[in-house]
Amino acid sequence: MDIESQRQAMIALIEERGVTDPRVLNAMRRVPREEFVADAFRDRAYDDCALPATEGQTISQPYMVAAMTELLAPGPSDRILEIGTGTGYQCAVLSLLAREVVTIERLPGLAESAAERLTRMGYTNVEFHVGDGTLGWPERAPYDGIIVTAGAPEIPQPLYQQLAMGGRLVIPVGDDSLQTLLLVIRGETGPEIHEVSGCRFVRLIGAAGWHDDA
């Protein structure tokens, strides 16, 4: 199949697996995933699986990108914080759905290449930072939504504290081998936590996550 046919087949599979938000599906249709994968994997860009990226990282499975974005439910006027820029694919999807995306990557090489890629592709509402994503980016808080694309041992409190009231945090929490995808909503009396599904992500490294030597 040609690229466009592969993209449509990917969307059809995502729908079959239960993602129904038309805004999310449309955003996924509009982002060319082949631009975010290594040349060696370009012919697999629309396979529904994670693919290797540079510096030991991965580009997430398309279904997981769609499912996490649907849980986050970003609105057109929202400010979203993304933890783990990676290749920039998730960020590109978010930028089509929210007013503003602040994204943090701890690896400078990944952050630089993602910023160059997204800027070249015309995504203009994204603010890039290099740093410890487990601490968030308090200068731009509060956030209507926070999405974490790496697995944490527990919910990082700095991120929860940077949510607006009623804001949503989507994060994988667990050990090295398996995590549970959580939706955490900040409420007046404390966090409202929903367990969504099992998942597997690279470790979230930082002061409020895993340590490098853990």
The CB density around residue 78, as the number of other CB atoms within 10 Å, is 20
> All domains of the chain, ordered by start, with CATH?
63-199 (3.40.50.150)
The CB density around residue 25, as the number of other CB atoms within 10 Å, is 18
Closest alpha carbon to 137 in 166, 111, 116, 113: 111
pLDDT in tens, the chain (214 residues): 789 999 999 999 999 999 999 999 999 999 999 999 888 888 899 999 988 877 777 788 999 999 999 999 999 999 999 999 999 999 999 999 999 999 999 999 999 999 999 999 999 999 999 999 999 999 999 999 999 999 999 999 999 999 999 999 999 999 988 999 999 999 999 999 999 999 989 899 999 999 875 5
pTM listed for this prediction: 0.95
5 part of the active site: no
pLDDT tens digits, residue range 120-129?
999 999 999 9
The CB density around residue 22, as the number of other CB atoms within 10 Å, is 9
Q: Which residues pair with 4 in a beta bridge?
A: none
CA angle 19, 25, 28 (to 5 degrees): 120
Distance separating alpha carbons of residues 110 and 79, to the nearest angstrom: 22
DSSP at 18: T
Among 60, 113, 177, 197, the active-site one is 60
Burial of 40 (0-12, 13-18, 19+ CB in 10 A): exposed
DSSP 19-42: ---HHHHHHHHHS-GGGGS-GGGG
Distance separating alpha carbons of residues 129 and 148, to the nearest angstrom: 15
pLDDT in the model for residue 58: 78
